[in-house]
Every structure is written in structure tokens, then in C-alpha cells.
Amino acid sequence: MKVENRQRLFILWLILSAFGIMFAVLSWAQESGLLPSSSDMGGMKGVYALITGFILYVLVAHNMSGGPGDK
């Protein structure tokens, strides 16, 4: 596998992982009553998870040692 393809797959994996982490955090916040229920939010939890997951990726994963931003 080419290094470029491997790097792109690694970035995709990190972004999807960040999305999953933030979706779980938002689910926990809903269960604890910090956020409105799923019936009230609809599909917005996924949108919020996508946005906050990307922010998590930029702040943490992109700059980690051995990560995509490591030169």
C-alpha cells in the first residue's frame, strides 16, 4: 500500500473515531439530562457529533506524535 493511501486511511480512521467518541459523549449528556432527549433533538445529535468530532480531531489527533500533522 502506498504511503499516501495509508496516510489518508489513517486520517479517515481518526476522524471517524473522533466522531464516535463525541457521539458517545453526547449520548451520555442526553442520558444525564444535560441535553434534550433524542425525540427533541432529532438528527441534530449526529450533526453536533460531526462538528465536535472534527474539532476533537484538529485539537488532539492531528497534532499527536506520529499523526498526520507530525513532520
Count of structural domains, the chain: 1
C-alpha cell at position 69: 500533522
Whether residue 67 is contained in a domain is answered as no
Q: How far apart are the first and last CA of the chain?
A: 20
* Amino acid 52: pLDDT: 96
Whether residue 27 is contained in a domain is answered as yes
What is the band of 23 on the pLDDT scale with cuts at 50, 70, 90?
A: very high
The boundaries of the domain holding residue 54 are: 3-61
Whether residue 68 is contained in a domain is answered as no
Whether residue 66 is contained in a domain is answered as no
> What is the per-residue pLDDT across 28-56, written as a single tens digit (0 to 9) for each?
999 999 999 988 988 899 999 999 999 99
